[in-house]
Amino acid sequence: MMVGSRVSTRATDEAKVREDINRVRRYVKEELFYDTIFIWDNEQLDEGSHLHSDFLASCKPILANGDLMLAPEKETETYMKFLWTRLMRDKSYRRWLTEKRSNAYQCVQDRFMSK
């Protein structure tokens, strides 16, 4: 099966979509978070924004078992747009950033209060 075919059918396989969403979640919580801990707003989640551009560049290699790097550009763009739309609809990306930021602020506050 060609790489393009695997990528184009990936959006119809809920288990594979969930797997990719979990990869994005790990990226957001473990890597992106530290770049945005104190600076980000909801407008940064719009298409074409800094966080959207970062998603396209940073998540493409980790999704679909790397197949997106070899797939035709049109299919890759379609799948990335599908995934981003789903993440925005479910408010997952925002929730992951907010939860992590909230926990970090609490740690900073706890350390400050203990000194």
How many independent structural domains does the chain possess? Answer: 1
User: Residue 64 region, left (φ>0) first, then alpha (ψ -120 to 50), else beta?
Assistant: left
Amino acid at 35: D
Q: Mean per-residue pLDDT for 4-30? A: 85
Structure tokens at 74: 């049109």
Percentage of the chain surpassing pLDDT 90? 36
Question: Is residue 115 over pLDDT 50?
Answer: no
Quote the pLDDT of residue 9: 84
Structural domain including 13 reads 3-114
Q: How far is CA 15 from the centre of its chain?
A: 17
Place of tokens 């930021």: 101
Q: Does the predicted model carry a pTM greater than 0.75?
A: no
